Amino acid sequence: MKTKIALQGIKGSNHYKALTELFNEKGVDALECTTFQRLISAVVTGESEKAVMAIENSIAGSILPNYRLILDHQLQITAEYYLNISHNLVALPGQDLEDLVEVKSHQMALHQCSDFFSNQLHINLIEDVDTALPAQIIAQQQIFGVGALVPKGTAELFNLKVIAEDVQNNSLNETRFVVIEKQANTNPDVDKTTIQFEIAHESGSLAKVLNKMAEHELNLSKIQSIPIPNDIWRYAFIVDVSFSNPVHFQKAFSEISKISINPTCVGQYKSGKS
């Protein structure tokens, strides 16, 4: 039986690429969702067993609403995957850059290509649900004057022309995807974890938590603050740490739990390769 996995976007999107590189495509029944909220609901209701969701990009930064969705629904990160992202500007054949008046793509993709478009003031940038859907619609409805920003290979999928290749601000462009599930990863072969905690509004309280991590040899790779919606101007912290021995993490987490508020383990997993 195939595993049902939710993704944001359709075949030809970066999410689809990440999904097929993480899992064997033949064993997967992909549930294409138009929003991240829909993807999370699919996991919460059991409609899909897992979801693949972008969480941050090396140029455009963290997708904070996605952290909030994971936390609010008490879901777990069970894997991570770094995907190299390149964006090609595509449109119906027979057109060049000067023929385009609009380019449609995912908000994060448009951010990643801001330098290129700052020199193309005749083009209006329009946010869409993902990178592939506007390309599919342009092809199906034969829409001239409108382009899409898509991953490599997607132009061929929809018989579109590549007008400009690799238009992202930096050639080193990666998106970190996470796999989301209801249950925590029970595989003992883990070396990374994501935790969330709040702290008292007192001098040194964050430093005390970070010191505990250092004492137990945890290697911090990311710290992200995120607003607490019903507590105005207060923040929770989301921290990614890697470790060589899970016991180090367990000891650190138990000590951090005593000096922080609402400490939660948001997932344990094997660190992905960037």
Minimal CA–CA distance to 181: which of 52, 56, 31, 24?
52
Q: Is 85 in the site for ligand PRE (CB under 6 A)?
A: yes
Q: Of the ranges 6-14, 23-31, 73-81, 159-167, which one interacts with ligand PRE (CB under 6 A)?
A: 6-14
From 5, 6, 9, 193, residue interacting with ligand PRE (rule: CB under 6 A): 9
CA distances from 215 to 44, 236, 268 (A): 37, 22, 20
Q: Of the ranges 5-13, 42-50, 95-103, 214-222, which one interacts with ligand PRE (CB under 6 A)?
A: 5-13
Q: Is 88 in the site for ligand PRE (CB under 6 A)?
A: no
**Taking the C-alpha atoms of 204, 195, 54 and 29 in order, what is their torsion angle to the nearest 10 degrees?**
-170
State the Cα–Cα distance between residues 211 and 207, nearest whole angstrom.
Answer: 6
Using left for φ > 0, alpha for ψ between -120 and 50, and beta otherwise, residue 66 falls in alpha
* Closer by beta carbon to ligand PRE, 58 or else 205: 58
* Closer by beta carbon to ligand PRE, 34 or else 242: 34
* Closer by beta carbon to ligand PRE, 128 or else 199: 128
What's phi and psi for 137, nearest 5 deg? -70, -40
* Closer by beta carbon to ligand PRE, 151 or else 267: 151
User: Which residues, numbered 159-188, are part of the site for ligand PRE (CB under 6 A)?
Assistant: 175
* Closer by beta carbon to ligand PRE, 81 or else 253: 81
Residues β-bridged to residue 181: 76
With vertex at residue 243, the alpha carbon angle to CA 241 and CA 244, rounded to the nearest 5 degrees, is: 165
Q: Is 106 in the site for ligand PRE (CB under 6 A)?
A: yes
Query: Where do contacts with ligand PRE occur on this chain (CB under 6 A)?
Result: 8-9, 13-15, 54, 57, 85, 106, 108-109, 130-131, 175
